[in-house]
Amino acid sequence: MILLQLSSGQGPAECCLAVGHALKYLSKQCHDSGINIDIIEQMPTGNKGEFKSVTVQLSAKSTGNALTFAKSWQGSILWICPSPYRPRHKRKNWFISGHVFNLEQTELTHHITFQSCKSSGAGGQHVNTTNSAIRATHTVTGITVRVDSERSQHANKRLATALIFKKLNEEKQRRDEHDDQTRWQQHWELERGNPIKTFKGKEFKFIHQS
């Protein structure tokens, strides 16, 4: 299972907009490359096109191709553009990050139990009257998620597995981040790093891959 997370870190609204632009570019790139992309989780800011973070699952006929593609997005990503929100602002460099998670499906699912349950909420009569919803539990940590956004149990199991995978990685990150000062330090380190990809202008034009 290959997940790619795009994050604005502790950056301002311009960085959140950069995440939205990067997601659009990434989706088109996947389509052109024959790679499947599914949005697993997103944290919108409330403003159109802005995201604090987005996590997608990438898959292809060849897992190696999907992983190589994902790794081309791992690292700091630079968007060079005057602020669309603050015209007088001098800053033009906005940084976001890409992080790849890769784990063998069998290694993860070995520790996950699934329980089917009734779907709830909007979705139409078909969704609400079938046991397509899934409650998944990671037996080692006790992490539990409930998914009913898809119509089939198979699709909901796949999404639940991806969400647990992501939560496990987030728990590890939290253990490594002791306080806000550490997170801010990581953001400054991100800005000082050499960007893996560089985009420019309101059109988010790709100009460089390192």
Of residues 99 and 62, more confidence is placed in 99
Domains defined along the chain, listed by start: 2-102+180-209 (3.30.70.1660), 106-169 (3.30.160.20)
With a pLDDT cut of 90, the percent of the chain lying above it is: 44
Which tokens go with 41?
Answer: 């989780």
CA distance 15 to 12: 6
Q: b/e string for 132-144 if b means 16 or more Cβ within 10 A?
A: bbbbbbbeeeebe
What is the average pLDDT value for the chain, to the nearest integer? Answer: 84
Neighbours of 210 (CB within 10 A): 10
Per-residue pLDDT, averaged over 56-65, amounts to 87
Query: Is 36 or 147 the better-scoring residue by pLDDT?
Result: 36
CA distance readout (Å), 87 to 42, 60, 91: 28, 42, 10
Whether the pLDDT of residue 199 is over 80: the answer is: yes
Return the minimum-mean-pLDDT range out of 6-20, 53-67, 102-116: 102-116
Output DSSP code: residue 88: T
The predicted-structure confidence for 24-52, as pLDDT tens digits, reads as follows 999 999 999 999 999 988 899 999 999 99
pLDDT of residue 187: 61
CA-closest candidate to residue 91, choices 106, 103, 81, 104? 81
Question: By CB neighbour count within 10 A (0-12 exposed, 13-18 middle, 19+ buried), where does 28 fall?
Answer: exposed
Bridge pairing between strands 93-102 and 112-117: unpaired
Do 14 and 94 meet the contact criterion of CB atoms below 8 Å apart?
A: yes
Q: Give the single-character DSSP code of 74.
A: -
pLDDT value for 126 = 45
Burial category of 102 from C-beta neighbours within 10 Å (exposed 0-12, middle 13-18, buried 19 and up)? middle
Residue range 8-18: average pLDDT? 94
Confidence (pLDDT) at 93? 94
pLDDT at position 125: 46
**pLDDT of amino acid 27:** 97
Confidence at residue 130, expressed as pLDDT on a 0 to 100 scale: 59
Residue 180: predicted pLDDT? 58
Residue 146 clears pLDDT 60, i.e. is over it: yes
Contact criterion met (CB below 8 Å) for 3 and 165: yes
pLDDT for the residue 170? 73
